[in-house]
């Protein structure tokens, strides 16, 4: 058996290699999802009468064996296969003869790859959400441990007002929870079966797309068959956009850690086992894991940009250009997951130097406190503001613990509402587990 589109005519070897690209390598990771979708499609063919019940049973058994072989590392795509779709059909034909040749009835490689990519996305988004929630939980735990540790707050990279280490850590747990809402939107878009849309114009057979979708592992279908085809790359771009926002949160988080753990600040302490050294400077303990994680935003955002730009100005229907969206999508997904996973592993071991944090809380942080003290004595705000500006440094540092407690409004350093945040993370965990 040749390639799925082979009509017996020869094709230039260089042209063929260029058009196939590295799809055959990428499809190695998509094989179990392609097999899963093929099992769902086979059920639809049986419902149409194209396959007998006995045929369906044989195909399902053969597909399950391919999954087992993939898990064992003995079912692999090759450059000669061109893609995973050919590898699967070739394997089925070898084991089942003519029955294996029936699997592609009423199906195009277009809805086939779309199904595999969407199922892959659902699987990987589950892993990404777990890692993101693990990191958010680690930040929440730091916030609980450091809730009463005073620390300077900054604006414009300058010392601003009293804050706390707990406020800092809790902020990122909160932001990661927001980012997961965006990720859920991408998940919902991917959780619609493209099977039955074929090359974007459906098939002249009454295939039950809803039944096929359920059998393949989707919650429903994407209705319009041309919209399915036009969505190739778009859903990937939406997911990468959500991942970019996650990495943007990570970028700021890691940048803070890099600076606040430096000798100049010394607020945070990185255990030595999570740092690296220098080949020339024996004293160095470098925060490489946080620097590389800080750079992950650029990596994932570039993948998103590559996917979106590939789609620009394409006409409706399938265009081979969209093949080029597969690699950046899979690379971006993998890199985002790896980044979140390593941070979830390292962050629980961060330490705070409370002495350094308290020592950094000098009188200038309390200018607003002093102005408000004068307001409480009857001085109009504008006058109090100007008086304090003119008399900078004439007041003393108050009791830091008392000063923190005074910031008692919802979400303030003296009332972080960590129980509410914990409940939110728990709800998100349950929601993702149900997907």
Q: Which residue in 68, 278, 316, 408 is the catalytic one? A: 278
The dihedral built from the CA positions of residue 297, 302, 305 and 310, taken in this order, carries a sign that is negative
d(CA 120, CA 31): 9
Beta strand 192-193 with 220-221 is parallel
Bridge partners of residue 192, in order along the sequence: 220
Phi and psi (nearest 5°) for 346?
-90, -40
Structure tokens at 67: 């999954």
d(CA 356, CA 134): 28
Cα→Cα distances 356→11, 145, 241, 269, 368, Å = 70, 16, 38, 11, 22
Bridge partners of residue 268, in order along the sequence: 352
Residue appearing with tokens 């300058």: 158
Nearest by Cα to 81 from 12, 37, 22: 22
Contact 69, 75 (CB under 8 A): yes
104 has catalytic annotation: no
d(CA 219, CA 232): 19
Residue appearing with tokens 């955002």: 301
Q: Which residue in 156, 279, 313, 376 is the catalytic one? A: 156
Q: Which residues of 394-403 are buried (b: 16+ CB within 10 A; e: fewer)?
A: eeeebebeeb
d(CA 367, CA 395): 8
| DSSP reduced 3-state for 8 | coil
156 has catalytic annotation: yes
| DSSP reduced 3-state for 150 | strand
d(CA 203, CA 108): 10
Residue appearing with tokens 């909160």: 174
Cα→Cα distances 155→20, 152, 180, 199, 372, Å = 52, 10, 26, 54, 19
CB atoms within 10 A of CB 29: 16
H helix or E strand, kind and range, residue 19: helix 13-20
Residues involved in catalysis:
156, 278
């Amino acid at each position: 058996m040749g390639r799925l589109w082979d009509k017996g005519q020869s094709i230039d070897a260089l042209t063929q290699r260029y058009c196939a690209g590295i799809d055959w390598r990428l499809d190695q990771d998509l094989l179990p999802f392609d097999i899963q979708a093929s099992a769902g499609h086979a059920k639809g063919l049986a419902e149409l009468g194209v396959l007998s019940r006995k045929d369906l049973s044989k195909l399902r058994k053969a597909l399950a064996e391919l999954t087992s072989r993939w898990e064992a590392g003995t079912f692999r795509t090759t450059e000669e296969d061109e893609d995973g779709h050919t590898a699967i059909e070739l394997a089925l034909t070898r084991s089942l003869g003519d029955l294996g040749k029936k699997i592609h009835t009423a199906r195009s490689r277009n809805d086939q790859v779309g199904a595999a990519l969407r199922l892959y996305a659902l699987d990987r988004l589950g892993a990404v959400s777990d890692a993101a929630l693990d990191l958010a939980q680690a930040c929440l735990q730091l916030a609980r441990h450091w809730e009463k540790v005073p620390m300077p707050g900054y604006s414009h990279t300058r010392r601003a007002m009293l804050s706390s280490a707990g406020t800092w850590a809790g902020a990122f747990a909160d932001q990661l929870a927001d980012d997961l809402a965006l990720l859920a939107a991408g998940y919902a878009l991917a959780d619609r079966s493209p099977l039955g849309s074929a090359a974007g114009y459906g098939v002249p057979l009454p295939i039950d797309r809803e039944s096929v979708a359920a059998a393949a592992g989707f919650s429903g279908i994407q209705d319009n068959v041309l919209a399915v085809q036009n969505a190739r790359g778009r859903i990937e771009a939406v997911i990468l956009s959500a991942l970019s926002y996650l990495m943007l949160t990570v970028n700021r988080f890691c940048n803070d850690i890099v600076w606040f753990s430096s000798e100049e600040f010394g607020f945070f302490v990185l255990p030595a086992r999570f740092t690296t050294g220098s080949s020339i400077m024996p004293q160095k303990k470098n925060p490489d894991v946080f620097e590389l994680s800080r750079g992950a935003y650029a990596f994932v955002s570039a993948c998103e940009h590559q996917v979106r730009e590939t789609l620009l100005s394409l006409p409706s229907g399938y265009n081979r250009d969209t093949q080029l969206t597969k690699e950046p999508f899979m690379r971006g997904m993998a890199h985002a997951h790896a980044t979140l996973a390593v941070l979830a592993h390292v962050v629980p071991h961060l330490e705070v130097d409370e002495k350094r944090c308290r020592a950094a809380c000098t009188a200038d942080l309390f200018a607003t406190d002093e102005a408000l003290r004068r307001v409480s004595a009857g001085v109009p705000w504008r006058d109090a503001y100007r008086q304090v500006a003119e008399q900078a440094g004439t007041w003393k540092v108050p009791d830091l613990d008392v000063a923190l407690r005074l910031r008692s409004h919802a979400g303030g350093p003296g009332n972080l509402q960590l129980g509410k945040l914990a409940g939110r993370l728990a709800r998100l965990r349950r929601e993702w587990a149900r997907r």
